[in-house]
Amino acid sequence: MSSIDDFFQKLYESAVSSHLKDKIEIRSKLKTMLGCFDDQTLVEKAPTLMETKEFSTYHRERWLFHFTADLSAPVYVLTPKNDRNDHPAVLALHGHGYGSREIVGLTDTGEEDNTAMGIHQHFAVQLVKRGMKVFAPEVIGFGDRRLTEDIENENASSCYRMAFHLLMAGKTLAGLRVFEARRVLDTIETFSDVCKTRLGVMGFSGGGLIAAHTAALDERIRATVLCGFTNTYKHSILTRNHCIDNYVPGAIEVAELPDYIGLIAPRPLFIESGSRDPIFPVKGTESALRRLTEIYENEHAGNQLDSHIFDGVHEISGKHSYDWMSKKLQK
C-alpha cells in the first residue's frame, strides 16, 4: 500500500472511530448534512391531472404535483381497478435512466414499452398489479426534469451540475430529492382513496438512496424496499466512481451507511441486491445486512428485516420484494 493509499485508509478509520451511536443524534445530523430546504416557500396547490390511460387491471394517470414556487414534478399514479376506497400506497422511486416512464411501462418517448423490461423491471406496474396504488414521481435531474441545456444536448441527467450547484450553496442533491419525496408524501395523503396509515416506499439504485433517507426521516413510511443500493460507503462509493448524487459531505464522520438505513428500524425493511452487482458489490451488501441485523435485533424487531440476494447484476428482481410489500401494507 502506498503512502497515499495509507492516508485515505487512515482518514476512513479515523472517521469510523468517532461514529455516533444514538439514533436521535444520527437522524438530527443526517437532516443537517442533507441541507436545509426550509427556506423554500411551500405551495399548497392541488395537483393537476395531465393525462390518463386505461388498462385491464389498473388505470394510469399523470399528474403535476406542486412543491414550491419554482419546483413541481410530473407523477405517474397507477390505481388498481377494484372496489376499494382505502388503497395502500407506494412511493416508487426510479434510479438512473430516463425517468419515471421507465418504471411504469413506457419508453423514453412515452410509447408503451412492450420489449424487455430492463433493469427497472417496470416495477411500478408490478406493484399496482398486487393491489397497491403507486405514485412514481420524476426525480429531479432525470427525464423531463433535467436542466434545459442538458435536455437540448441530450445528456442523460443533470446530476453533476445540480449537485455541484447545491454543494456550493451548502446543500446536497440527495437532500433536495428527499425534500421532494416528502412533499410527494404530503400530496399522496390528499388522495381520498389512499389509506394514510399504509404508506410504503420502494427505490432502486439512486432511488434507493432517496427511499432510504426518506424512510429514515419520515415515520409516515410503514414499509421500505431498497433494491440495488444497500451497502457500506467503504465498499461502494469510496472504492469506485459513482454519480455525485451519492455524496453527502461529512456523512462518514457520523455513521456508516447501514446505520443511516438502520434509522428505519423497527419498521419493516426489505433489502434486495444482485450477487454480481458491480456498482454496489455484494460483499458490501452482506456487511451492511450484518449490521442491520444487529440494529433490528437490538430493537426486538428482527422479524421485520428481510432480504434477497439473487443471481443478477445491478437490477431489480422483485421475486420476493413485491409480495413482501403487499403483505406488509395490506395487513
pLDDT digits (tens, 9 = 90+) for 269-325: 999 999 999 999 999 999 999 999 999 999 999 999 999 999 999 999 999 999 999
Cell 500500500: give the residue.
Answer: 1
pLDDT digits (tens, 9 = 90+) for 97-118: 999 999 999 999 999 998 878 9
pLDDT, one tens digit per residue, over 157-184 is 999 999 999 999 999 999 999 999 999 9
For residue 2, the model assigns a pLDDT of 79
pLDDT at 145 over 80: yes
Cell of 268: 419493516
CB of 328 closer than 8 Å to CB of 294:
no
41 pLDDT more than 90: no
Cα distances (angstroms) measured from residue 305 to each of 154, 168, 223, 283: 41, 37, 10, 19
Residue pair 266/304 in contact (Cβ under 8 Å)? The answer is yes
pTM of the prediction?
0.96
**Domain map (residue ranges) of the chain:** 3-329
- H or E element, residue 186: helix 173-188
The H or E element containing residue 3 is: helix 3-17
Q: How far apart, in whole angstroms, are the C-alpha atoms of residue 125 and residue 60?
A: 9
What integer is the mean pLDDT of 231-253? 96
Whole-number pLDDT of residue 16: 87
Q: What is the pLDDT of residue 1?
A: 60
SS3 305: strand
Mean predicted confidence (pLDDT) in 215-236: 98
Top-tier CATH class for 3-329: alpha beta
| Owner of C-alpha cell 404508506 | 199
Q: What is the mean pLDDT of the chain?
A: 96
Confirm if 102 and 141 have CB atoms less than 8 A apart: no
Query: Which of 42-56, 213-227, 307-321 is the least confident region?
Result: 42-56
